[in-house]
């Protein structure tokens, strides 16, 4: 029988104020461990111990006791390891931050079993001798470039997912759009849902899911023919930035689904758009800044990814307007 391997344990030293409390109460209070993860840990042989002895979550502890949580090491056996050049911005035992190039799907889906970011990351971990399951905290569209955070343990995934739901993960994007929003800065608070006529598309609709996008115009090109816009997401709906910018009348340059190249667009492409479309073969959107609180060290961490080559080429074309 193969001996079970564990990640480094999470340790809690019981304080005087927690003396007499149940194990689960201390863990929920001190580490924010979810009920789901606790249920999983208590079924693991060494999942929860106090002073080296296995305990149950309703057992009580005393001041000075040492609680340890051990999560079983896992691997993504359903993801084929595949060598890939990765732009790793940061990595430690708990989290990986990667600068994803455009044209790469984050996770294998129907029709995309290989060539995804997950395939490359799983290969990278195998090369390091690490047993880690691929757990992205958030995803980017295939053609959107930029920062993606990946948790390396169930606890870190739970903590970062909760930060994301609470709006504590700061995600900022660079977007290049046609025209220029009427207001130099503002918030688009418009619900989004699937287009009933085309389920692959999203639209602004009163019956949709709450969706909030904050934006600020950084640079205006030409006589308002195009603009560089900084965007911050408050929610994370599919295609949210692309849909909201189109709703403002400033669709993303190069966007084949929501831009002027879209056959269903009600507007003609602006003058000079042919040169801009030739400069980039995808929507001009880049996840440039990502900030979150590290679940283990509790340090606030901020990462930034510079513009990829195609967006630098687009900027050069925009400056010619």
Positions marked active-site:
141
Residue corresponding to tokens 């194990």? 23
Closest to 151 measured CA to CA, from 210, 197, 220, 90: 90
Phi-psi map region of 249: left, alpha, beta (phi>0 left; psi -120 to 50 alpha): left
Tokens of 190: 């418009």
What span, in angstroms and rounded, lies between the C-alpha atoms of 98 and 134? 13
Tokens of 11: 């340790």
What span, in angstroms and rounded, lies between the C-alpha atoms of 190 and 206? 8
- Please state whether beta strands 145-151 and 285-293 pair in parallel, antiparallel, or not at all (unpaired): parallel
Q: In the beta sheet, which residues pair with residue 189? A: 212
Identify the sign of the CA torsion 114, 117, 120, 126.
Answer: negative
What span, in angstroms and rounded, lies between the C-alpha atoms of 237 and 211? 7
For residue 30, with 0-12 CB atoms within 10 Å meaning exposed, 13-18 middle and 19 or more buried, which class applies? middle
Identify the DSSP state of 297.
T
Contact 154, 161 (CB under 8 A): no
Cα angle: 234, vertex 169, 191; to 5 degrees: 20
Residue corresponding to tokens 């461990």? 33
301-307, long-range: CB < 8 A, 24+ apart: 301/90, 302/170, 303/89, 303/90, 303/97, 303/147, 304/147, 305/87, 305/89, 305/99, 305/145, 305/146, 305/147, 307/174
Identify the DSSP state of 34.
-
């Amino acid at each position: 029988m193969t001996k079970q391997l564990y990640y480094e344990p999470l340790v809690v030293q019981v304080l005087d104020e927690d003396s007499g409390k149940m194990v689960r109460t201390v863990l929920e209070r001190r580490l924010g461990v979810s009920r789901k993860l606790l249920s999983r840990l208590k079924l693991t042989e060494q999942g929860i111990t106090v002073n080296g002895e296995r305990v149950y979550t309703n057992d009580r502890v005393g001041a000075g006791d040492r609680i340890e949580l051990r999560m079983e090491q896992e691997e993504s056996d359903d993801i084929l390891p595949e060598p890939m050049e990765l732009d790793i911005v940061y990595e430690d035992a708990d989290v990986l931050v990667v600068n994803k190039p455009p044209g790469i799907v984050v996770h294998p889906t129907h029709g995309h079993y290989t060539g995804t970011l997950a395939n490359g990351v799983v290969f990278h971990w195998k090369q390091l001798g690490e047993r880690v399951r691929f757990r992205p905290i958030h995803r980017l569209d295939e053609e959107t470039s930029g920062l993606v955070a990946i948790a390396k343990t169930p606890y870190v995934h739970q903590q970062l997912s909760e930060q994301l739901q609470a709006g504590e993960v700061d995600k900022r994007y660079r977007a290049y759009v046609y025209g220029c929003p009427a207001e130099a800065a503002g918030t688009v608070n418009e619900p989004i849902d699937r287009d009933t006529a085309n389920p692959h598309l999203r639209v602004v609709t009163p019956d949709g899911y709450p969706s909030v996008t904050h934006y600020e115009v950084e640079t205006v090109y030409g006589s308002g023919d195009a603009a560089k816009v900084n965007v911050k997401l408050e929610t994370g709906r599919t295609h949210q930035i692309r849909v909201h910018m189109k709703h403002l009348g400033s669709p993303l340059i190069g966007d084949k689904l929501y831009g002027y190249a879209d056959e269903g667009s009600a507007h003609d492409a602006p003058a000079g758009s042919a040169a801009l479309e030739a400069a980039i073969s995808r929507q001009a959107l880049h996840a440039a800044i990502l900030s979150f609180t590290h679940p283990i060290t509790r340090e606030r961490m901020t990462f930034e990814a510079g513009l990829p080559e195609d967006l630098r080429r687009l900027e050069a074309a925009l400056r010619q307007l």
